[in-house]
Amino acid sequence: MRRPWHLLLGVAFGLASAFSCFLAGIYFQHSHATRQLQQLIQQDVYAYYISPKIFAVFSFFSVANETSNNMQRIMKYGFPGLDDVRLYSDFVLSYDRRNRVAHWVCEHLQLANLQGARGVGRAGATYRPDLSVPSNFRSTLADYKHSGFDRGHLAAAGNHREQQVHCNETFLLTNIAPQVGQGFNSGAWNKLEIYVRELTQNFGSVYVCTGPLFKPRAQGNRKWSVEYQMIGSSMVAVPTHFFKVIMVESRLPLGKPYMEAYVLPNAPIPDQSTLRDFLCDIREIEHFAGLHFFQGIRRSAIFGSNYPSESQVFRDFA
């Protein structure tokens, strides 16, 4: 009866040492790969962008980190500017404390954002000031009241219907700018927002950057000047124009993204004009806004960015 005992002990010992060697192997490989990965992430910006996902693959217990994933997902192609950047649940915004409207609002639209759950929508949302902005730089409901201007959305409410909180946050006044109502907010601007949703439905993944412009006008005698109204006691600037820079990701493997931009004057626009009339060179918007769009990707790698006079995607939509 003694030998089986010894045998059992020997086998157990062998197994234990094998198992611990196995664990050591796992540990060695894990730390080796982690070190290699860390180097890659330090060298490559794209690896950095997806680093949480890479690490999630390697980790034994996965950690949910939705907030930072959201920021990385929406801002995948870079920040247009870095002044007072604010992260909301489904869009990212840069706030202009001098003019009390946003510099830019970035969104990443996928089918899930548009379709939304039952009962989610603007019915449950109310316009309200963003109390996280210091009171000296904050716009209020009173500023817009009797101003003659609409409270126009930059990130459209209809783009954020996945959760009610997403929709509610588009009604914060940081995401709102004074817009001409008749013929703009309820006219051409609305058409542009619908067009962006159609792009999302057809192509699945669209990046949109929206913001105000304060464009100079020729005064004759080769002089130029900027002029815009201020409303309310907080002095909220009324932009002369609004822009939307749109990047559509290709569905084809290794397909180039497609990029185009629109600038609409903040004024009544006749019904018979088409969106095509407002196509604009992205570099012109960058010059007047002081921003740089989608800098994470080389312009040469983008289809359409140098053809501002006609839209390639447009043919699909009549």
Could you list the residues known to form a binding site for Mg(2+), using ranges.
Answer: 185
Which CB, 197 or 283, lies closer to a copy of itself? 283
Q: Are 297 and 250 in contact (CB under 8 A)?
A: no
d(CA 230, CA 98): 11
Which CB, 33 or 235, lies closer to a copy of itself? 235
Window contacting a copy of itself (CB under 8 A); options: 16-24, 32-40, 221-229, 304-312: 221-229
Rounding to the nearest 10 degrees, give the CA dihedral for residues 288, 291, 296, 301: -10
Q: How far is the CB of 118 from a copy of itself (least distance, A)?
A: 41
Window contacting a copy of itself (CB under 8 A); options: 68-76, 217-225, 250-258, 299-307: 217-225
Size of the site for a copy of itself (CB under 8 A): 34
d(CA 93, CA 291): 13
Out of 103, 153, 160, 166, pick the active-site residue: 153
Residue 153 annotated in active site: yes
Residue 116: CB atoms within 10 Å = 18
Q: Are 205 and 113 in contact (CB under 8 A)?
A: no
Residues 127-156: x/- map of binding to a copy of itself (CB under 8 A)? -------x-xx-------------------
Burial 257-278 (b: 16+ CB within 10 A, else e): bbbbbbbbbbeebeeeeebeeb
Q: How far is the CB of 203 from a copy of itself (least distance, A)?
A: 29
Q: How far is the CB of 240 from a copy of itself (least distance, A)?
A: 11
Pick the binder of a copy of itself from 177, 289, 297, 302 (CB under 8 A).
Answer: 289
**Does position 292 bind a copy of itself by CB under 8 A?**
yes
d(CA 173, CA 129): 5
Q: What residues numbered 76-105 form the site for a copy of itself, per CB under 8 A?
A: 81-84, 96-100
Window contacting a copy of itself (CB under 8 A); options: 190-198, 227-235, 250-258, 266-274: 227-235
Q: Does residue 64 sit in helix, strand or coil?
A: coil
Which CB, 42 or 225, lies closer to a copy of itself? 225
**Does position 267 bind a copy of itself by CB under 8 A?**
no
Pick the binder of a copy of itself from 13, 27, 46, 224 (CB under 8 A).
Answer: 224
Residue numbers belonging to the annotated binding site: 185
Q: Is 207 left (phi over 0), alpha (psi -120 to 50) or beta?
A: beta
The two structure tokens encoding residue 254: 């290794």
The DSSP code for 256 is: P
The DSSP code for 61 is: S
Residue 130 CA, distance from chain mean position: 19
Closest CA to 282 of 295, 293, 296: 293
**Does position 237 bind a copy of itself by CB under 8 A?**
yes
Which of the residues are catalytic? 153
Q: For binding to a copy of itself (CB under 8 A), which residues are involved?
A: 81-84, 96-100, 134, 136-137, 214, 216, 219, 223-231, 235, 237, 283, 286-292
